[in-house]
Copies of this chain bind each other. A is one copy, B any other.
Amino acid sequence: MNFPSKVLEAAIEELAQLPGIGRRTAMRLALHMLKRNATQTLALSDALTKLVNEVRYCKVCFSLSNADVCEICSNGLRNDKLICVVQDIRDVMAIENTGQYRGLYHVLGGLISPMDGVGPAQLTIQPLVTRALDAEEVILALSSTMEGDTTNFYLYKVLRPTEVKVSVIARGIGIGDELEYTDETTLASSISHRVLYADTIAE
């Protein structure tokens, strides 16, 4: 395509490299930025520069942080004997939004996936093993996919020598889901991991 302006072309090229944004969307975004107030686009540009230059990772759990140690890890009121292992920062936010979990996290930074060239060495597994020495329980809260299962099994093997209790989040029918539309594997898991009804009701 022939672009009438070099700076427009450069902006479109860069925008189109983002996931889910093709050249047509990139063009629409670039033209929108030209139409709106320039200060808004300068603010976006500035925020992105700051994002990559100033973002910090918690030295303990590898979540994003404003300081060396994140607010969750440095919060004395949380249970530091309980570590919830998640794939990335989005999962931390999702679990935090439930308001139900009071332990700490450990962000792996991905899942073991030989197809994508991701092995255990690329993940924060070694620091997890070190942390597990002082913990009582490690909860594996990874996606219920082949990569998630592989990673769960690998973590279980490397954590075994530490004698920490290793648990995995429950897999079953979702709250509000209808039984008839639940797939067989999930339903089977729901049945084999049934719990005592008395344990599920508030007394």
Contact = CB atoms under 8 A, between A and B. Distances in A.
Interface string A1-27: 111111110110111011110000101
Contact of A48 (B17, B19, B20, B44): B44
A48 B3 contact: no
B20 A38 contact: no
Given A14-B44, A20-B25, A92 B4 contact: yes
Contacts of A13: 47
A1 B93 contact: yes
B1 A97 contact: yes
A139 interface: no
Interface residues of A, number: 59
A124 interface: no
Contacts of A48: 11, 14, 33, 41-42, 44-45, 48
Interface stretch (A63-71, A126-134, A163-171): A63-71
A32 B51 CA distance: 11
A88 interface: yes
Question: Which of the listed residues A11, A46, A53 has the most CB atoms from chain B within 10 Å of its own CB?
Answer: A11
Nearest to A25: B20
A52 B25 contact: no
Contacts of A10: 47, 50-51
Contacts of A8: 51, 55, 64
Interface string A54-77: 111010000111100011100000
Nearest to A51: B11
Contacts of A15: 44, 47
Nearest 10 pairs of A and B residues by beta carbon: A5-B64, A14-B44, A38-B52, A11-B51, A45-B48, A14-B47, A11-B47, A45-B45, A45-B49, A10-B47
Interface of A: 1-8, 10-11, 13-15, 17-20, 25, 27-34, 38, 40-56, 58, 63-66, 70-72, 88-90, 92-93, 96-97
